[in-house]
């Protein structure tokens, strides 16, 4: 069963994009002060947990967490991949500028598309329009970098 989707729900995605865009420069700045990506990933995990606990307590229905044993393994693997991705992002930010690292990390939607096609058959609908949109987005990225270089030349 597909959850209902309202048009205003796109604000969640836009908010996540904005916050990720804010987080990259803040991470880079923090890493210029103390170049310890492993410690910084621990701080990120701790802050995430401290934000999650009140959310669960305030929005819960009083039942507490309902665990489905079939899903726990996938959440564990997902959490591991997310944490490793965050750590690799931090390591990348220690060696390169935000304007280089951020667009590369922003290729996440392409990986999500391919993995969805492979593993979420019957659970997610991926249309041709979605695929075309992702490729148009990917092809537009180099053009914007070319335009930036053209502007810098003048």
- Higher pLDDT, residue 138 or 86: 86
Closest by alpha carbon to 106, among 149, 145, 57, 153?
A: 145
Burial class for 37, CB neighbours closer than 10 Å (0-12, 13-18, 19+): buried
pTM (2 decimals)?
0.64
Per-residue pLDDT at 148: 53
Per-residue pLDDT at 150: 47
d(CA 151, CA 153): 5
Q: How confident is the model at residue 109 (pLDDT cuts 50, 70, 90)?
A: confident
């Amino acid at each position: 069963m597909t959850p209902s989707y309202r048009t205003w729900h796109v604000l969640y995605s836009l908010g996540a994009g904005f916050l990720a865009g804010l987080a990259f420069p803040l991470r880079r700045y923090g890493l210029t002060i103390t170049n310890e990506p492993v410690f910084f990933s621990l701080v990120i995990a701790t802050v995430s947990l401290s934000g999650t606990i009140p959310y669960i307590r305030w929005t819960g229905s009083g039942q507490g967490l309902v665990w489905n044993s079939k899903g726990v393994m996938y959440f564990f693997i997902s959490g591991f991949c997310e944490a490793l991705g965050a750590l690799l992002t931090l390591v990348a930010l220690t060696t390169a500028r935000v304007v280089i690292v951020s667009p590369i990390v922003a290729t996440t939607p392409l990986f999500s598309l391919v993995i969805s096609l492979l593993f979420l058959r019957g659970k997610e609908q991926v249309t041709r329009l979605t695929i075309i949109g992702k490729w148009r987005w990917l092809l537009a990225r180099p053009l914007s970098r070319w335009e930036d270089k053209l502007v810098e030349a003048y």
